[in-house]
Amino acid sequence: MIIFHDPQCADYGSSTRPDRPEQPARVSTTVARLRAAHLDWQWRLPPLADEAVLRLVHSPQHLERLQFAHDFDEDTPYFEGIYQHARRSVGAAIAAMEATLDEKQKTFALMRPPGHHALPSQAMGFCYLNQVAITAFVARQRGIGRIAVWDFDAHHGNGTEDILHDREDYLFVSIHQDPAYPHTGKMSSGNCRNYCITPHAPREEHMAALRRSWNELLAFKPELILVSAGFDAYVNDPITEMSLEVADFAELGRWLAATSIPTVSVLEGGYSADLPELIDSFLTAWAL
């Protein structure tokens, strides 16, 4: 397992906005746990993503706006240096994809901000740049044909769907709580397949939907899988109403381990104090 991580990703958001659930400690506590528990895992410092690759997805106006001190919305304020932070997060996802393809490694981008809500010209839901969509386009430039995104974050990956919708040989599969933020993803359309889970649905029901969604993704026969790995479908997550337990995230990791298709995971959401344990369970099962 190779973890792509830059400690600078914890340098924003705690003092200026202590009220937001998307806090630096999410990542820093996870780093501490993984480093202590897995001495054989590799850690790599990701590069800053080039502006040229950001433009594969995002408008020049959006990239400019990220550099001005102006809030997007309540969840997604301007932070000093947020453009660079978001570019590092994109850089980690791309570097993880490259290591997966070039070195046949399992890789995880352990960074913030997350990305799956980010639209071409709009930051929202803690997300500023859409690293998974950008990484999918960079992989295509490298000649990868069929590319699938599996998004098991508790929220619909509206940004990723918006970007990949109707694009040939991309599949987007999202499993999410409905109704919930961002109130999209209620139906499937074309290459975007949405699995809605009602609030407080039993975990067995949620896991069965996850399995169906994973089977649908495998049936697409992708050459590359990008996982938007959000851990906020956990029963104790403070901002959702879902029922998954620690062991369920290990089960998702086992499904990844059972495929020989190159797979990259990128951290999205997850706001409970147990996030380090959830990520560890998922990665440990996947690494076996």
Both tokens assigned to 197? 């889970």
Kindly state the helix (H) or strand (E) to which residue 195 belongs, with its residue range: strand 192-197
Q: How many residues of this chain interact with Zn ion, rule: CB under 5 A?
A: 6
Residue type, 64: E
Residue 113 near Zn ion by CB under 5 A: no
Listed ranges 60-68, 100-108, 227-235, 273-281: which one lies at the site for Zn ion (CB under 5 A): 227-235
Q: Which is nearer to Zn ion, 91 or 269 (CB)?
A: 269
Q: Which is nearer to Zn ion, 105 or 236 (CB)?
A: 236
Both tokens assigned to 238? 């403070």
Residue 237 near Zn ion by CB under 5 A: no
Cβ proximity of 160 and 130 under 8 Å: yes
Residue 253 near Zn ion by CB under 5 A: no
Among 62, 117, 156, 206, the active-site one is: 117
Bridge partners (DSSP) of residue 244 are 234
Three-class SS of residue 283? helix
Q: How far is the CB of 52 from Zn ion (least distance, A)?
A: 29
What is the footprint of Zn ion within residues 255-274 (CB under 5 A)? 269
Cα separation, 277 vs 236, in Å, equals 12
- Where does residue 213 fall: left (phi above 0), alpha (psi -120 to 50 degrees), or beta otherwise? alpha
Q: How far is the CB of 239 from Zn ion (least distance, A)?
A: 8
Q: Which residue is nearest to Zn ion (CB)?
A: 269
Binding residues for Zn ion, rule: CB under 5 A, are 153-155, 230, 232, 269
